[in-house]
A and B are shown apart, each in its own frame.
Chain A
Amino acid sequence: DARVTQTPRDKVTEMGQEVTMRCQPILGHNTVFWYRQTMMQGLELLAYFRNRAPLDDSGMPKDRFSAEMPDATLATLKIQPSEPRDSAVYFCASGETRNEQFFGPGTRLTVL
């Protein structure tokens, strides 16, 4: 049963530290999405890749966030430096097309 995997599942860090979240999309899926979920803002799209190329990252704070796909089996989301307002659950999702999105279990980030 193919699934999207994300690591770490939980991360607690201090303000100012760098945070890297990793996602392994389902094999063969060429679209990858990063979302952030908070109680206040709900689910927000941060970035969207197709065939490893970023198609849209307008939802991402550019000064501190970066998203990459070094290869087809790995997507990363990095925050540097992290701030308390970045505390959220970060989801990665993948699909064969943009019309399907299978979500990973999420990374719960807490920035103290």
Chain B
Amino acid sequence: AQKITQTQPGMFVQEKEAVTLDCTYDTSDPSYGLFWYKQPSSGEMIFLIYQGSYDQQNATEGRYSLNFQKARKSANLVISASQLGDSAMYFCAMTGGNQFYFGTGTSLTVIP
């Protein structure tokens, strides 16, 4: 069963604009964690942000924020003030038990 769903294979955003990357998840565990990673063309995986299922407030890290809507089981990533260096693949991931699930990714292209 698909645990993480990213429905946007590709997204475009104008430089300096904000963009939201969608992620929905499926779990029956009350305790879980949600992550976002960035993978530029160089291939490395860069940790961006983490949200725990019991966290009351949305996680923020610089220009990244995670819009956590527990009832909807969504964990969208918001990137504010997009930069050309933000062009990359973005993966949503979830921990549950001893398993870790990654989505299929969204390719973001920032247009000058």
Contacts and interface: CB of A to CB of B under 8 A. Distances in A.
Contacts, number: 44
Contact of B43 (A44, A102, A105): A105
A49 to B, nearest CB: 11
Interface stretch (A11-19, A66-74, A91-99): A91-99
B107 interface: no
A106 B43 CA distance: 8
Contacts of B93: 43
Chain A: number of interface residues, binned into ranges: 20 to 34
What is the predominant secondary structure among interface residues of chain B facing chain A?
Answer: strand
Nearest to B43: A106
Interface residues of B, number: 21
B100 A99 contact: no
B59 to A, nearest CB: 11
B50 interface: yes
Contact of B99 (A56, A100, A101, A102): A56
A103 B95 contact: no
Given A43-B91, A45-B99, A102 B44 contact: no
A45 B100 contact: yes
Interface in B58-112: 91, 93, 95, 98-105
Given A91-B45, A99-B52, A100-B50, A55 B98 contact: yes
B98 A103 contact: no
Among all A-B residue pairs, the 7 with the closest Cβ atoms: A103-B45, A43-B102, A56-B98, A45-B100, A99-B33, A55-B98, A42-B104
Contacts of A106: 43-45
